[in-house]
Structure 1
Amino acid sequence: MALVEPTRDEEVQLSEATAGDYLELLKPRVMSLVVFTAFVGMVAAPILPHPFLAVVAILAIAAGAGASGALNMWYDADIDAVMSRTAGRPIPAGRVMPGEALSFGLVLSVLSVMTLGVLANWLAAALLAFTIFFYAVIYTMWLKRSTPQNIVIGGAAGAFPPIIGWAAATGTVSIESVILFLIIFLWTPPHFWALALFKSGDYERAGIPMMPNVAGEASTRRQIFVYSLLIAPVGVLPWALGYASLGYGMVSAALGAGFVWYAWKVLVMPAEDRKMKAAKALFGYSLLYLFGIFAAFLADVLIGRAFGLAGI
């Protein structure tokens, strides 16, 4: 029997995707941050779930974050193709077909939400579903291309993981988890605006109204500094409100002071510094800041429990 050769249209639809390409669709670096902050929220909760359920819940939250990333890459494939930072992603590079990414993201969304609901509780599942919807629809499809406040409002999506982790453990939402939410929420604008300062050409080519392209570099630098003045005291709130020890308070205050210092360097950055060294330094420090704050809070919780000290 003669083999039937595929038609030209069928050949066009063939995918060259590898497992690594699908992993890249999940935005693993973003996912790792989501997993860590959700884990901190879960461990900080007064009720700890069974270890097996805790692992499954974290995996479900990770899958939900990955689903959001896949849906984001599917919708943003057109602008990713013209940005140097994203042109090599699987869809614009032609390794994954858009329909495959969409199906992958939708299936993963449903599986992650259902798994979290069945094995943890439906409040956590509802929060995860809302987070996926907020990131994929509200931020990616609407805010990102329509307003320079896209990061400010859209940052809520990335701030929900500690609340979801807390809810997965307790079935409730508390002021402690909301404070962790606020830390990430206020951290997001200066973190991404620092990136936008030295990648403004990319965003301009893609037609994305990031703050430097709309309000200008000077206004963006001022707003970054204002947000640094907000994030510094909010990072200390767990200690100030009695949810963490003085040790955490000292570490968070030092990290916050560092954030303000780096933001100040951006504020007074010479206009002729086209290499944007200060903005790049702030971007790098902001990652260290967020990891340091949550690591310090996690350590404080674990030490407090081990020695029976006051705190969460």
Structure 2
Amino acid sequence: MTAVESRPAAESGSELGPRAGQWTRRDRVLAFVALTKPRIIELLLITTVPVMFLAEQGVPDLWLVLATCLGGYLSAGGANALNMYYDRDIDARMHRTSNRPLVTGVVRPGECLAFGLSLAVVSTLWFGLTVNWASAGLALGALLFYVVVYTMWLKRRTAQNIVWGGIAGCMPVLIGWSSVTGELSWAALVLFLVIFFWTPPHYWPLSMKVKDDYARVGVPMLPVVATNTVVARQVVLYSWVMVAVSLALWPLGYVGWFYPLVAGLAGAWWLREAHALLSRARAGLTGSKLKEMRLFHWSISYVSLVFLAVAIDPFLR
């Protein structure tokens, strides 16, 4: 366990100050990596690379894949670092974010701001010089949308924050397509919408689990301002739209038989879990009996399976 992980939350609001010497070089390196939120970026790359296979209708240039993934990591990492810089006040008061680098003091706010801005500039130039400028523009647009529109405007003002803020998380689909073709298409738009409608029912179950944290800092996530039944109804609504949109790739002619088979089966299981969550909410179950995290964990498996099918389908047509 590193010093970042073991430092008590009671000290979480302090600056580095005279205690800076306690942090090792390894602690510092790991902290700057943590600013990029690598686990979130994994999901973004899961949606980027398969779209490149679909756009190419086969195996895309491997250097292009590597360049796109690196650019995507740098851009999303910059956005996440800037998000942590802006949210450092509420992160210090939330249990689930109490070990973030700015809260523990291993990284100073000024360092985080400089790091995030540097990644934003470097990633944009990287995309433009090694991929294409269309992808560079999309990546920069996603970063600005996440930082300015979601983090600085929507997050603390409306219960629809994750709905519209989720647009930033949809952009890797467009970036993956444009990196191969230099333009966009209906297929890219459909997959963009899949992630758009996936994001709320993916995140709301987690928000239900940690709603006390959000309530403590005044962030109006939907589960904070609405009952579990209302939230679960919204989850079911978005889930049905998501599954319907995911199947639109087939009649549009972009995929063969494999993708709709996988998307249909995965979607059916998703709907089963979404309706089960609604049934438990209507029954008044709370705490561990609500089992809201079942859908959250399945949502990650769902998006992985669907986009894996996106990548495999061109080889089976």
Same fold, judged at TM 0.5 (above): yes
Deviation track 1:253-291 (CA, whole Å, cap 9, x = no partner) reads: 111111111110111113133225431111111111111
The correspondence of residues 255-266 of structure 1 with structure 2, limited to 5 A, is: 255-266=266-277
2:297 to 284, 297, 300: 284
Q: For residues 260 and 53 of structure 1, what CA distance do their matches in structure 2 show?
A: 36
1:107 to 114, 118, 121: 118
2:174 to 152, 160, 163: 163
Please, which moves more after superposition, 34-43 or 92-101? 34-43
* AA at the equivalent of 1:18: R
Residue 307 (structure 2) pairs with residue 297 (structure 1): no
Aligned to 2:42: 32
The correspondence of residues 1-312 of structure 1 with structure 2, limited to 5 A, is: 11-12=17-18, 14=20, 16=23, 17-46=27-56, 50-269=61-280, 270-301=283-314, 303-304=315-316, 309=317
Identical columns (%): 39
Give the secondary-structure state (helix, strand or coil) at the position aligned to 2:233: helix
Distance 1:10 1:32, change over 3 A: closer
TM-superposed CA distance for 1:70, in Å, is 0.7
Tell me, yes or no, if the aligned pair for 2:16 and 2:105 is still in contact at 8 Å: no
TM-superposed CA distance for 1:119, in Å, is 1.6
Please, which moves more after superposition, 45-54 or 187-196? 45-54
TM-superposed CA distance for 1:91, in Å, is 0.8
Please, which moves more after superposition, 75-84 or 271-280? 271-280
Which structure ranks higher in relative contact order (CA pairs < 8 Å, sequence separation ≥ 6)? Answer: 2
Q: Which sections of structure 2, spanning at least 5 residues, go unmatched?
A: 1-14
Tell me, yes or no, if the aligned pair for 1:245 and 1:300 is still in contact at 8 Å: yes
Deviation track 1:9-55 (CA, whole Å, cap 9, x = no partner) reads: 99459583521111111100111111221112222213876432331
Tell me, yes or no, if the aligned pair for 1:42 and 1:168 is still in contact at 8 Å: yes
Q: For residues 286 and 237 of structure 2, what CA distance do their matches in structure 1 show?
A: 21
* AA at the equivalent of 1:254: L
Q: For residues 87 and 12 of structure 1, what CA distance do their matches in structure 2 show?
A: 21
* AA at the equivalent of 2:32: Y
Tell me, yes or no, if the aligned pair for 1:248 and 1:297 is still in contact at 8 Å: yes
Q: Which sections of structure 1, spanning at least 5 residues, go unmatched?
A: 1-8
Q: For residues 261 and 49 of structure 1, what CA distance do their matches in structure 2 show?
A: 36
Give the secondary-structure state (helix, strand or coil) at the position aligned to 1:268: helix
TM-score, structure 2 length as denominator?
A: 0.89
TM-score, structure 1 length as denominator?
A: 0.90
Tell me, yes or no, if the aligned pair for 1:265 and 1:278 is still in contact at 8 Å: no
Tell me, yes or no, if the aligned pair for 1:13 and 1:97 is still in contact at 8 Å: no
* AA at the equivalent of 1:162: V
Deviation track 1:106-141 (CA, whole Å, cap 9, x = no partner) reads: 001100001101122111100000000000111011
Distance 1:60 1:268, change over 3 A: same
